Amino acid sequence: MDKFVIEGGVPLHGTISTNGSKNSALPALAAALLTDEEVVLERIPRVRDIRTMERLLVDIGSEIVVDEGDSERVVLNTKTIVSPEAPYELVKTMRASSLVLGPLVARAGRARVSLPGGCAIGARPINFHLAGLEHLGARIAQEHGYIEAVAPDGLKGAHVVFDRITVTGTEDILMAAVLADGESVLENAAREPEVVDLAHLLRKMGARIEGEGTSVIRVQGVAKLHGATHEIIADRIEAGTFVIAAAITGGDVCVTRCVPEHLGALTAKLAEAGVTVTQVDDTTLRVERRNGTLLPVDMTTEEYPGFATDLQAQYMALMTQANGISIITETIFENRFMHAQELMRMGANIRVDGRQAIVAGPSRLTGAGVIASDLRASASLVLAALVAKGETVIDRVYHIDRGYEKIEAKLSAAGAKIRRVE
């Protein structure tokens, strides 16, 4: 199992470029199941979760050609659905596998998808996906740990109100609704940029969608979708992680190929904390914190356009260096503070009380052996290690490989002393 060895104390300088979004690429890949024509996706990050999704699609019946060069292009062709199934072996390693549910029922009239089971950051059930499909006329049964969804006569357009905002739930039902007969209205839909990106791809494939990016999405079902070419948006969570890396090390970094607008909640907090963030052009943010004191700023995670839960752990690492007490409230997942314990092993002063973490800074962090528990928790440990005195060894970095492509190379190029060891 790989580890990262990080020697802290170097302010980052230079340019770090952003990859395509993992959480946009995953539904885009699943959307290719909706047509028997060729779908070409560009800027697909070469991270582990994407490989898992590609493996799943090949088992289902897709032919996939991957170009790992600069375009990071993936060409998908699904002439026939051979096996409309997502097995436990894959779903247990990646919950986003449930994104094939909607497309499979819509295209093949049938899907068999393993229930995901427990997760490091919370219960994360898929009941809203299932309720949405039922509204669209699918019959759902559960047996042997699997969900069986069938709609032999096709799906029917319907009014679906999500009990709670769900990102992949909105994406799953949107992908089902585009091939349903008649109009569907999705209310309390997620407004995340990844949902908008999916709607753009589906529209290129011939879908009739309005209202993406708002909480009400209207879909006029069509009989058939066709092939399309689409470039995935920038990964706002990866970009946000680099923005925080610059801030925590007291560096001066340009984060390029990102969408500054998607990072509004983060950059607003950083400005309050005393970090200078400037938009250089449409796709570049410059982050500077040279010798400046960092101020403590409370933060509550929310659905987009609020502060992303996927940046909460990284923000907590930053607040360990702020001059005073900050309160971080997690509202999306019930168990997403696993990183706090590891940060404390490095010398942070954090008290977790239910859904709140009270961080008292500034702490002098020191290098230690720590264990990554999930993707974003791992990122926060990397950030803490970049300012810790001495050497930090982060175990189980396969978690970080799920969502960050070559993070050690990107950070090294900006001066960080980080290396991967087997």
CB of 338 to ligand EPZ, least distance (A): 12
Question: Of the candidates 378, 403, 409, 311, which has an alpha carbon nearest to the alpha carbon of residue 45?
Answer: 403
Q: Which is nearer to ligand EPZ, 149 or 294 (CB)?
A: 149
Rounded to a whole number of angstroms, the minimum distance from the CB of residue 336 to ligand EPZ is 8
Q: Which one from 119, 140, 222, 358 is the annotated catalytic residue?
A: 119
In 11-158, at which residue ranges do the beta strands (DSSP E only) sit? 13-17, 38-42, 63-67, 73-77, 85-86, 110-114, 139-143, 146-150
Any idea which residue has 């680099």 for tokens?
A: 242
As given in the structure block, the two tokens for residue 296 are 């403590």
Interacting residue ranges for ligand EPZ, rule: CB under 6 A: 23, 26, 95-96, 122-129, 164, 166-169, 194, 309-310, 332-333, 375-376, 403
Shortest Cβ distance from residue 27 to ligand EPZ (Å)? 7
Nearest to ligand EPZ of 81, 375 (CB atom): 375
Query: In sequence order, which ranges of 274-311 are alpha helices (DSSP H)?
Result: none
Residue 129 Cβ vs ligand EPZ, minimum distance, rounded to whole Å? 5
Cβ neighbours of residue 112 closer than 8 Å, sequence gap 6 or more: 84, 85, 86, 146, 147, 148, 149
Rounded to 5 degrees, what are φ and ψ at 208? Answer: -110, 105
367 vs 403, beta carbon nearer ligand EPZ: 403
> Is-catalytic flag, 258?
no
Token reading at 150: 């069938």
Taking the C-alpha atoms of residue 397 and residue 379, their distance in angstroms, rounded to an integer, is 9
Determine contact, residues 296/319, Cβ cutoff 8 Å.
yes
Our CB check for ligand EPZ shows the closer of 82 and 123 to be: 123
Query: Hey, which bits of 124-232 come out as E strands?
Result: 139-143, 146-150, 159-161, 183-187, 208-210, 216-220, 228-231
Compute the half-sphere exposure of residue 265: CA atoms within 13 Å on the CB side of its CA.
Answer: 20
The candidate with the shortest Cα–Cα distance to 285, out of 250, 242, 314, 318, is 242
Q: Which strands sit side by side in the sheet containing 183-187, from one edge to the other?
A: 159-161, 183-187, 216-220, 208-210
Residue 119 vs 352, nearer CB to ligand EPZ? 119
What minimum distance in Å lies between the beta carbon of 73 and ligand EPZ?
Answer: 21
Nearer Cβ to ligand EPZ, position 286 or 376? Answer: 376
Closest distance between ligand EPZ and the C-beta of residue 362, in Å? 27
> Would you name the residues annotated as active-site residues?
119
